[in-house]
């Protein structure tokens, strides 16, 4: 069983206009294992996406204190591609478009990057797995021959991110607002894809603003972030409470002196 642990994490980002850095994460602690689905909720600007980007190793996020451990090993000095090979996966809110690289080419290269050189996936095995997952996500075969995310609608990009998840089979997936902009049918399909991954070898950290996603992907643990910290952790019903009461009640209950919507 694999583990992902964030310990007292402090992170700054560049303020290009002021030529300074601004602290976003102010001591985040979180631990999860494969077999678990964790959800993070919180007001805009409180650091949820910063956390996922930092775990994945994006270079414009600067860790000033704390550590990130994957199976007990610090990954702070590892570049993004090495973290991916070790089993981390990030589905972003706004996936990038890449001209000249088809979905199929990207997927096969990503799968082989995690495998030894003497154990690369065969074309036949790759196509068999691809066809199975395209059917699960109700995606057409033509999607695989299009350039990566180029000209895709918002819903197509989100399905494509989940297709990558299903094909690459990471140990931990960081899912950053995968429900953003989805209609109810697309939300059900995306959720079906994530739920199909549930196993002792897979864990997910889901960042979302809305309870509706968690109606389809039921989390084992819900964390609430405010002011750059996790201020409360509970079971799935914590998300339901936030949906009913908002963040103001929780802020007052905990005696937190933070804005409901923190500055970006």
- Distance spanning both ends of the chain, measured CA to CA: 36
Closest to 108 measured CA to CA, from 67, 46, 164, 26 = 164
Average pLDDT on 46-54 reads 94
Rounded Cα distance between 251 and 235, Å, is 18
> Who contacts 180 (Cβ-Cβ below 8 Å, separation ≥6)?
93, 154, 158
CATH 2.30.130.10 fits 3-99+170-254, yes or no: no
Sketch the domain layout of the chain as residue ranges: 3-99+170-254
Confidence at residue 206, expressed as pLDDT on a 0 to 100 scale = 96
Q: What is the pLDDT of residues 131-146, one digit of tens each?
A: 999 999 999 998 888 8
Q: Residue 213 has which token pair?
A: 């996603």
| Alpha carbon 247 to chain centroid, angstroms | 22
Closest to 83 measured CA to CA, from 48, 52, 62, 120 = 52
Q: What is the pLDDT of residues 189-209, one digit of tens each?
A: 999 999 999 999 999 999 998
Confidence at residue 198, expressed as pLDDT on a 0 to 100 scale = 96
Upper half-sphere CA count for residue 126 (Cβ side, 13 Å): 18
Rounded Cα distance between 193 and 162, Å, is 6
What torsion, rounded to 10 degrees, do the Cα atoms 93, 24, 225, 69 define? 80
Confidence at residue 15, expressed as pLDDT on a 0 to 100 scale = 76
Place of tokens 């850095």: 21
Place of tokens 């804005």: 259
Q: Flag whether pLDDT at 17 surpasses 90.
A: no
Q: What is the pLDDT of residues 68-85, one digit of tens each?
A: 999 999 999 999 999 999
Confidence at residue 263, expressed as pLDDT on a 0 to 100 scale = 41
Cβ atoms of 3 and 28 closer than 8 Å: no
Q: Flag whether pLDDT at 264 surpasses 50.
A: no
């Amino acid at each position: 069983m694999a583990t992902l642990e964030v310990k007292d994490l402090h992170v700054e980002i560049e303020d290009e206009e002021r030529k300074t850095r601004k602290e976003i994460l102010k001591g985040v602690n979180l631990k999860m294992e494969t077999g678990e689905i964790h959800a993070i909720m919180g007001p805009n600007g409180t650091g949820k996406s910063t956390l996922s980007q930092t775990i994945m190793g994006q270079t414009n996020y600067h860790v000033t204190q704390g550590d990130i451990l994957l199976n007990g090993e610090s990954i702070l000095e590892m570049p993004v591609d090495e973290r991916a090979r070790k089993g981390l996966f990030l589905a972003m809110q706004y996936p990038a478009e890449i001209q000249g690289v088809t979905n199929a080419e990207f997927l096969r290269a990503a799968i082989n990057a995690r495998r030894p050189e003497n154990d690369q996936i065969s074309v036949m095995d790759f196509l068999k797995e691809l066809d199975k997952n395209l059917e699960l996500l109700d995606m057409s075969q033509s999607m695989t021959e299009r350039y990566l995310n180029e000209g895709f609608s918002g819903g197509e990009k989100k399905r494509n991110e989940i297709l990558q998840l299903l094909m690459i089979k990471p140990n931990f997936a960081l899912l950053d607002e995968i429900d953003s902009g989805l209609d109810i049918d697309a939300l059900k399909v995306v959720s079906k894809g994530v739920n199909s991954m549930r196993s002792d070898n897979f864990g997910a950290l889901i960042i979302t603003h809305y309870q509706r996603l968690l109606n389809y992907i039921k989390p084992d643990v819900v964390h609430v972030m405010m002011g750059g910290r996790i201020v409360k952790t509970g079971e799935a019903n914590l998300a339901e409470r936030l949906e009913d009461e908002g963040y103001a009640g929780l802020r007052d209950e905990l005696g937190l002196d933070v804005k409901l919507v923190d500055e970006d």
